Amino acid sequence: MNETSRAVLLSVMLSAGALGAVAPAMAGVAVDINVAPPPPQVEVVPPPRVGFVWAPGFWDYRGHRHVWMAGRWVRGRPGYHWVPDRWDPRGPRWHHEPGHWER
């Protein structure tokens, strides 16, 4: 292996190590806000699609304001059910619990 190949390999290994150290820390980040979400918007749910589950719309918090994220079809997972996004009050603050699959 020549010097250039070793330098490239070392660079890739260091980058992968750095990403591995940061990614788990970022995965558990939760943000609570002081502003309650507006009431949910009314959505017309389209007809059922075989192999898909309807994930209802929800209010996301972006750039210091709530933004409506329209409902969407997500591919079903056998043995699981979809838990929709929700906002939970935690004292004077609001916590967003992202939609996810549960057994």
Strands (E), the chain: 32-33, 52-55, 58-62, 65-69, 72-75, 81-83, 86-90, 93-97, 100-102
Taking 70 as the threshold, does the pLDDT of residue 97 lie above it? yes
Bridge partners of residue 87, in order along the sequence: 96
Q: Is 59 exposed, middle or buried (0-12, 13-18, 19+ CB in 10 A)?
A: buried
Q: How far apart are CA 96 and CA 37, in angstroms?
A: 10
Percentage of the chain modeled with pLDDT above 70: 73
Taking 90 as the threshold, does the pLDDT of residue 28 lie above it? no
- Binning the chain into helix, strand and coil, the percentages to the nearest 5 are 25, 35, 40
This prediction has a pTM of 0.69
Averaged pLDDT, 23-49 = 83
Count CB neighbours of 87 within 10 A: 20
For the chain, domain boundaries: 1-30, 31-102
